[in-house]
Structure 1
């Protein structure tokens, strides 16, 4: 079903199949390491009709073939509207091309709304079409808004028949405690560096080591950055370009990625002000700084700016202001 298997998921998948004791699992860990892929592999394995006990899906039975085509009647994938097409495509599932937004029409939501959960409840109450389990995958689980999460609670606590859930999350702290308490946690950490670099190389990523470090060890995010046109050389040049106030360094970046990059830079500069090496940038790429106070004030400004990253009123002016803040903070920290 997946276009490209993630080799570091083999161990967590085997572990989950061996020790799952609940009808609901919560796959949790940092973004960019394969929570959705693991959740989907679990669902396929539970629905497989020809697998050995505690083994992964066989990929050859009738159930697996239906799953691979995206037409399995006992599987539901619940995603925000804004993520649906991209996530389904990455999993090799068919999807409909979204219509272009009409004037005055709201953009696709980043939340999972109560209407989607109500549709899911109809699926949950129906009898299994193939007589085995029925599985629901929800990703990212923290996208459930408050009303939707509360609507899900009763079914999550008392599922009908053979219904099973896999919730996958990048930010499990953002889930209602009542949702978390009903799920068996399944932690998913950063993959082994060698496995991540081998996978990136297989995807054709040049300078994979640099981009992997830039993303904090998250190979899927490194691939996303590479496919968006970011190179390791451009990433390493960013700190000193910000110190010079070069707005052009960020003009082609989406606003959320701008905030993310500047927060990583701020983090590394604080580390350097305390005599430590960079985590996301090479130490040689970082401007010399002496004082942490201006950097900590800049970090607070970035956290405030992040609230508007998805919908800035004027993206160009917003990025110019962020670059000006960066230059001012780096200059002050160097004195």
Structure 2
């Protein structure tokens, strides 16, 4: 998962359209679903903010009342976010005092899952009376980071919610959620933006977030690298990805040249390999590639070789967050990529 942007205060146009539709419907629990990078977090946050707003409109929160300011400053007494601690820290949400102390005292690292202790606190929060008279709201993101114990702790509250509490669960992998969780929510499938709309938004965001000289060509490559997902594309922009380096990457990897990827996190390296494998499989079957320009791809090997490589990459994804030896893992990926694409080691 790519951590979403939290610098922008105005929702992207395609998020705003969806927000307006959701506010016109009734429901105490919504499940926002779709692949990463489409703005589940942003839409979930805007929906909760509109529920709590003192002067809401048909299109969303007013953005200027004290309630909106409290949500924006992550300090609203009637609003709780339920996230893995790693995500909360990345997005600037405060941890509970006990959790922060345990991490500060080096007793443990921030959790990558939604902890059951946090869920129990949230269930207790949902039983309280609203402090500001607009009800209470809970945002769970990414909802698939609940384990079975945590999810079961939420089930009863979703089934019999207090009268003034509303939930919004945002997920990038709803198949990982318990069926009983899904059945207790109204589902909203995230919309994909139009390419021109996404390009315009991405350029504006990149130019205000550390890439003031970003060009339309670079933005197109960021969107290409992200498979058309705007938030993921913005993450590529922040990482400093250049159009030239992305274009050269497939054939470099086929030759065993890992220079561009060497310092990237293991999960990001694996993501690139999976995208390359996907595009080669598409090319081999006569379809258009999705992540790289067709002219930048090496010659696709036989289908059986690609299928075996794809399975190896899927197996690697199960342990990429907890590698036994990152150095050996990268060497194995270099070797398997070169073997799959039929290249010999470059002469040194």
Question: Partner of 2:70 in structure 1?
Answer: 66
State how far apart, in whole Å, the 2-side matches of 1:311 and 1:101 are. 19
Pair 1:181-2:187 in alignment: no
Matches of 1:239 and 1:106, distance apart in 2: 39
Query: CA separation in 1, counterparts of 2:104 and 2:132?
Result: 40
Matches within 5 A, 1:293-308: 293-308=304-319
Match status 1:149 vs 2:151: yes
- Tell me the equivalent position of 2:346: none
Q: CA RMSD in A?
A: 2.2
Q: Paired residue for 1:257, among 268, 273, 294?
A: 268
List runs of 5+ in structure 2 lacking aligned partners.
208-213, 344-348
Alpha carbons of structure 1 residues 323 and 77: separation in structure 2 relative to 1, 3 Å: same
- The alpha-carbon deviation at position 187 of structure 1 amounts to 1.1
Task: Identify the range of structure 1 (256-265 vs 67-76) with the bigger mean alpha-carbon deviation.
Answer: 67-76
CA distance in 1, matches of 2:56, 2:281: 52
Alignment-derived partner of residue 325 in structure 1? 336
Aligned residues: 326
Quote how far apart the aligned CAs of 1:219 are.
1.2
Contact 1:269 1:278 in 2 (8 A): yes
Structure 1 residues 1-10 or 234-243, which shifts more? 1-10
CA contact (8 A) 1:200 1:219 kept: yes
Q: For 1:58 and 1:150, locate their aligned partners in 2 and report how far apart those are by CA, in whole Å.
A: 35
Moved more, 275-284 or 117-126: 275-284
- Alpha-carbon separation, structure 2, partners of 1:110 and 1:250: 24
Deviation sequence 1:97-135 (CA, Å, 0-9, x none): x78968984432211121111111121111110122200
Q: Which moved more, 1:151-160 or 1:189-198?
A: 189-198
Among 105, 111, 114, the alignment partner of 1:112 is: 114
| Distance in 2 separating the partners of 1:229 and 1:99 | 34
**Alignment of 1:190 onto 2:192:** yes
Q: Give the structure 1 partner of residue 89 of structure 2.
A: 85
Which residues in structure 2 correspond to 1:29-40 (within 5 Å)? 29-40=34-45
The runs of at least 4 aligned residues of structure 1 exceeding 4 Å deviation read: 93-96, 98-105
Q: 1:277 to 1:55 in 2, by over 3 A?
A: closer
Partner of 1:13: 19
Aligned to 2:47: 42
CA contact (8 A) 2:301 2:341 kept: no
Check 1:165–1:278 CA distance in 2 against 1; reply closer, same or farther (3 A cut): same
Q: TM-score, normalised by structure 1?
A: 0.91
